[in-house]
Amino acid sequence: MRRRAEPDWVRAVSSAAVVLLHASSNFALRPSRFTLLGVTPAFFCNQLARFAVPLFFLLSGLTLGFGRPEPLPGFLGRRLRRVGLPYLGWTLFYFLWTRRYLPGVLLSAGSLRLLGRDLLLGGAAAHLWFIPPLLELYLLYPFLRRLLRRRPRLTLACSLLLSLLCTLTVYVPLPLAGRFRAHLWRTFPCWLFYFVLGMALAASGWDKLTAFCEKHWTALLGIGLAAAFLYSLDSLRCGDPDSVKPQLFLYAPLCLAVLLAARRPFRQLPRGEAAAAFLAKHSMTVYFVHVFVLQVLRLVPAFQGSALGMLGLFAACLLLSCAAAVFLDALAARLRRIPFPRRAA
């Protein structure tokens, strides 16, 4: 089966958008000398990047949909090795880093309870929440694949309805939701639709979608810029800059179409495709490491206080995260090749 370049391109841009999202978070509501509609440009950068996390869920479903079915134990084992084990390692790292713990402190009962909670909810760092719902969707994937094969439209519609209801529960403060509302966005139902949509596009329609987007790329780029501006205005009007909102169900799929359209002019650039493939290859490690890099870079005075500092912080964080990801991925590959010693007979 040939490797498709379009998902790599979308994954690469989404990786950069996640870094931009977190790099701009401390600047989004700060006063600035230059403002647009009363807010700093960092706010618009922050809202522009909100498509990234939904598209990561969509890409997970898409790439699984392109693959061949495999036995459940092998499938789950592969996913746990690729995602679960790195998540465990990075949770331990951020758990110790953010609390300034020494490794020996983990042996206390209180620390182990906190660590277990962080593993369950992805709470060791601000970005790790993404992994638990992704692992939950991996567990559901064989079941979802059978449903999608038998009733594709009904499965897609039901996933949209469930995700929309869960998102509304998070977005609208309902008294019955109680404490559960605070953690609902960390569970798979809020993100189920994007995952199933990716699977559905892989089953039928991906090639047609990419051809359509590349054919109408100029119109789609204009529509995408207008949609990003309107999405930002809506967040400003509601006073809610967070990602978990019903409007994202329109914004994220539209951004997918815009990214597929933007690939046409981008691939004309020298080494453009190679750069996208490189970032896509290391995207998971960039995702894990970039928050640590951000925390360190925020100590540098040059990356504080202005929109220009935010852009410098984003660029430096992306470059350093890529460099760290290359090193860590190479180290992990070398460790995987070390043979385990066999017991003597």
CA terminus-to-terminus distance, the chain: 42
Backbone angles phi and psi of 206, in degrees to 5: -65, -45
Residue 345, pLDDT score: 41
Q: Is residue 108 within a helix (H) or strand (E), and if so which, with residue range?
A: none
Give the span between the Cα atoms of 123 and 118, in whole angstroms: 4
Which H or E run contains 66? Answer: helix 52-66
Average pLDDT over residues 286-292: 96
Q: What is the overall mean pLDDT for the chain?
A: 87
Q: Identify which of 120-134, 260-274, 301-315 has the greatest average pLDDT.
A: 120-134
Task: Please spell the DSSP secondary structure of 221-252, one letter per residue.
Answer: HHHHHHHHHHHHHHHHHHT--SS-STTHHHHH
- Return the pLDDT at 297: 93
Give the sign of the dihedral formed by CA 180, CA 183, CA 185, CA 189. Answer: negative
* pLDDT confidence tier of residue 302, bands split at 50, 70 and 90: confident
Check pLDDT > 90 for residue 283: yes
118 close to 98: Cβ distance less than 8 angstroms: no
Cα–Cα distance list, 314 to 26, 31, 52, 189 (Å): 12, 19, 15, 31
Render pLDDT for 66-109 as a digit per residue (tens, 0 to 9).
888 778 888 888 888 899 999 999 999 998 887 766 666 666 66
Give per-residue pLDDT as tens, 204-258: 889 999 999 999 999 999 999 999 989 988 888 877 677 788 899 999 999 999 9
DSSP 299: T
Report pTM. 0.91
pLDDT at 288: 96
**What is the domain partition of the chain in residue ranges?**
5-335
- Using 50, 70 and 90 to split pLDDT, how confident is the model at 344? very low
Instruction: Tell whether the model's pLDDT for residue 182 goes beyond 90.
Output: no
Q: Directed axis angle between helix 52-66 and helix 192-203, to 10°?
A: 40
- Residue 35 pLDDT class (50, 70, 90 cuts): low
Amino acid at the residue 280: A
Positive or negative CA dihedral for 48, 52, 54, 59?
positive
pLDDT digits (tens, 9 = 90+) for 131-163: 999 999 999 999 999 999 999 999 999 999 999
